[in-house]
Structure 1
């Protein structure tokens, strides 16, 4: 049974939580956390893609020669590469769309992030890679899944072997009967006869991560007051209960379950 001091502490902790949950700062941070989900989905899909394309990689020259003779693994490998590529392409522009909408709703009217459009241009407009990825997303959604090719080469050396592995798309097939933008078409044509899909997506991932890191830093600048208020709340909650001293930042609640035997009978 809690004593009076413990009860007072519990009530104060609940008062702090209630005040936090009702505050504008909490509502702002919850919105930011919701937006972060789009980035995490993109990064999760990219991680799956990377794991899929390296799942057959090996540094053993003997193994690569055996894989070249026994090709029973090829179909399953290409299905998984294609599946993860499809998910990555879809989430890539979900993140772009969510970023655009988020900026329009929270920052555009008062021009709170003045350099936003310049960073968008530097990341998504001027480089060719984002145009290619966007066209590939449309290709996947509106035409067909592209035929992905996996190729490897083995170069022997005195210390062993060097294995070159790539995941590619046939550029002639890509350009057939599909409306590519000028920048994307030029990039694909210059890549002929094979577009290195892994290298393309790696470059695109780096562009997106750099942009989202910058955007997150600007959000923290604009909403510094909300984050400062959260830190004060966390400090007080930590003082009241060191084992659970964090202010909620999402609408997801984690409830602890206990097993009760009160209603259990015996047979």
Structure 2
């Protein structure tokens, strides 16, 4: 239990809670958006006879979106603290810092999601709308929940990266166009980081495996001796 390998396992188990919260929020939000964006479902929810159900569905997506944004920021901070605390001055720490700097720190979508958390903290939930749109000449229609770009731009505290991101958006930003690619970026980062952790602790894990085999062998030996003792005692009684 005091081995480096077991301590690593315990640390990872503790840290996994933050990632699990983010992952489950992402999963639930994606499932909700997929349902809303199913044209037949969206059309039904936005019909007059189902107005209350439509309002409730919209409120639920707002709740899930809030939880998703909040858990994303929590995961980012917990991971930064985790790596700083346990891997400072190691190649793993250097590799993580470089990864964040080169692929995430200046990524416009990532910065926008982080800034959106601050927006929600100080301004409240961003205004969103559930709508149906048709394209002329096309038989199909699209049902979506989206944010209004113009209302977001009016906030004065966006970072330069977020301002650039917003400037490239159309009138409305589909939530799924934010959630899906951001989720993929974060999942990719944590798959990469897990691989780095395993490589960094490969020696510790091998040593732990050896200790576990030795422990199991000792336990089996004790069990065998106990069985032999019980058998000899039974023979003497007979």
The two structures share one fold, judged by TM-score above 0.5: yes
Q: What do the CA deviations read for 1:5-61 (whole angstroms, capped 9, x no partner)?
A: xxxxxxxxxxxxxxxx2323212220122112111111011011112223344464x
CA spacing shift, 1:67–1:27, aligned 2, 3 Å? closer
The CA RMSD over aligned residues, in Å, is 2.7
CA–CA distance in structure 1, aligned partners of residues 206 and 77 of structure 2? 29
SS in 1 for 2:35: coil
Q: 1-side partners of 2:54 and 2:18: how far apart? A: 32
Deviation at 1:105, TM superposition (A): 1.5
Cα distance in 1 for residues equivalent to 2:207 and 2:141: 54
1:194 is aligned to: 172
Aligned twin of 1:229: 207
- Cα pair distance change 1:192/1:154, threshold 3 Å: closer
Q: Cα offset for 1:97?
A: 0.8
Instruction: Tell me how far apart the structure 1 counterparts of residues 122 and 112 of structure 2 sit (CA, whole Å).
Output: 15
Q: Distance in 2 between matches of 1:75 and 1:37?
A: 32
Q: 1:128 and 2:98 equivalent?
A: no
Partners of 1:152 and 1:219 in 2: how far apart?
Answer: 46
**Aligned position for 2:123:** 143
SS in 2 for 1:179: coil
Report which stretch shifted further, 173-182 or 136-145.
Answer: 173-182
1:171 counterpart residue number: 149
How many residue pairs get matched? 217
CA distance in 1, matches of 2:39, 2:173: 24
- The match for 1:44 among 17, 24, 34 is 24
Q: Bigger CA drift: 84-93 or 187-196?
A: 187-196
Cα 1:104/1:113, change in 2 over 3 Å:
closer
How far has the Cα of 1:228 moved from its partner? 2.0
1:67-86 aligned at under 5 Å gives the runs: 67-69=45-47, 70=49, 71-86=51-66
Deviation at 1:113, TM superposition (A): 4.4
The answer on whether the counterparts of 2:21 and 2:71 sit within 8 Å (CA) in structure 1 is yes
Normalising by structure 1, report the TM-score: 0.72
Seen in structure 2, the aligned counterparts of structure 1 residues 22 and 107 have a Cα distance that, compared at 3 Å, is: closer
CA distance change for structure 1 residues 156 and 234 in 2, over 3 Å: closer, same or farther?
Answer: farther
TM (normalized to structure 2)?
0.80
Cα deviation for residue 72 of structure 1 reads 2.7
